[in-house]
Amino acid sequence: MSWRSRAPAIPPSKSGWATPAVSPDGSKIVFNSFDSNLDIVEIPVAGGPVKPLLATSRSEQFPFWSPKGSVFAYVTNRTGRSEIWLKNTADGSDRPIVTARDFPNDQSLDFLTPAISPDGARIAYSRISNKHVGELWISPMAGGSPLRIGDPNAYELSPSWSPDGNWLAYFSSDVGAAKISVGGSDSPISLGLSDGCENAPQWSPDGAWIACGTDKGVVLVSPDGKQRRTVGHRKAFIAWSHDGKEIYALGRIEGAKWRFGAIDVQSGRERTIYDYDPEIRFASSYNPSFPMSLSPDGKSIATSVANIRSDIWILEGFAHH
């Protein structure tokens, strides 16, 4: 936070102004301006402070690593509107892959929760438009017409691909955790977790389980919905390890701190990896659709953090009426 004294002028555009107060002699007004955005960071799986992955003055969020190569998809508003971009960490290139131009018949307001298919050829995501709130779409990574899937009457987000690329698990406002076949026109199938799925369902690498965070731990349900068990004991955002033996979990603990840990899938026990102070604000613009994506080398998890900047301004020399 900093003090800035100005002549009779309005400070640069901010997200908001707040708490104005007039000096006793009426010659000055002091007020607070604040601005916020989202940046993408990495959480080291071995433990340690977060590391910046992509940060600008605009918002970047919902990172998702491609299984193929050193690229990840993310949502940004750098052009003034929401778009899905692809970042190549090897050569530094950056390009849009899903934009409002792909939907000429309905104005796009926001894109959310992109997920790249196991073969790296398609990307699934949720879209908010003038006509619909939270539709599931699939687009070719190389460009082309998007394909609509899911229930047109439900709010749907946070798709997760099955390892064979034939199914998506996701969150539905109607039935909670659900799955749907990618290649057909079948209706969504409930996974029976409408009573407690607190965030996006995540398909295990071997396809045997779909995991979903709840207030009492991480629920594992078989894709046919017939088997269920709970591992861990706390509410957390989750991501599978590449070998499927652990589930990484990030959630709040006492004192508003964040705990990053790993849950052993076989035993259900959790080990603590690292605790983060409340100053680290893990967030997305649409919780509970929170990004947690393991890098191809398995060494870090990409997610997003909120940055809130605040300044105190003094306005003087203004006209009195």
For the chain, which domains are there?
3-316 (2.120.10.30)
pLDDT given for residue 13 in this prediction: 39
- Rounded CA gap, 184 and 182, in Å? 6
Q: Which amino acid, residue 76?
A: T
pLDDT given for residue 9 in this prediction: 36
Once rounded to an integer, what is the mean pLDDT over residues 8-12? 36
Once rounded to an integer, what is the mean pLDDT over residues 225-249? 94
Please provide the DSSP assignment of 24-43 as one string: TTSSEEEEEEEEEEEEEEEE
155-195 pLDDT, tens digit per residue, is 898 999 999 999 999 988 888 889 999 976 778 898 887 65
Phi/psi-derived region of residue 77, left when phi > 0, alpha when psi is between -120 and 50, beta in every other case: alpha
Residue 235 predicted with pLDDT over 60 = yes
More confident residue, 38 or 34: 38
260-300 pLDDT, tens digit per residue, is 999 999 999 999 999 999 889 898 887 667 879 999 999 99
Torsion angle (degrees, nearest 10) of CA 143, 53, 201, 144: 0
pLDDT band at residue 58 using 50, 70 and 90 as cut-offs: confident
Phi/psi-derived region of residue 166, left when phi > 0, alpha when psi is between -120 and 50, beta in every other case: alpha
pLDDT averaged over every residue in the chain? 85
109-153 pLDDT, tens digit per residue, is 999 999 999 999 999 999 999 888 889 999 999 989 999 998 888
pLDDT given for residue 317 in this prediction: 58
pLDDT band at residue 27 using 50, 70 and 90 as cut-offs: low
Q: Which of 24-33, 175-184, 240-249 has the highest mean pLDDT?
A: 240-249
Burial class (CB within 10 angstroms; exposed 0-12, middle 13-18, buried 19+) of 12: exposed
The residues, ordered by sequence, that sit 6+ positions from 279 with a Cβ below 8 Å of its Cβ are: none
Cis bond before residue 288 (omega within 30° of 0) = yes
pLDDT given for residue 10 in this prediction: 36
Side-chain-facing half-sphere of 283: CA atoms under 13 Å: 14
**Under a CB-based contact definition with an 8 Å cutoff, are residues 197 and 230 in contact?**
no
**Under a CB-based contact definition with an 8 Å cutoff, are residues 178 and 193 in contact?**
no
- Rounded CA gap, 103 and 114, in Å? 16
Residue 6 predicted with pLDDT over 50 = no
- Which of 197, 118, 105, 196 is CA-nearest to residue 158? 197
Residue 33 predicted with pLDDT over 60 = no
pLDDT given for residue 148 in this prediction: 93
- Rounded CA gap, 268 and 195, in Å? 21
pLDDT given for residue 29 in this prediction: 64
- Using alpha carbons only, what angle is made at residue 10 by residues 7 and 14, rounded to the nearest 5 degrees? 140
pLDDT band at residue 20 using 50, 70 and 90 as cut-offs: low
pLDDT given for residue 310 in this prediction: 46
pLDDT given for residue 285 in this prediction: 81
pLDDT given for residue 244 in this prediction: 97
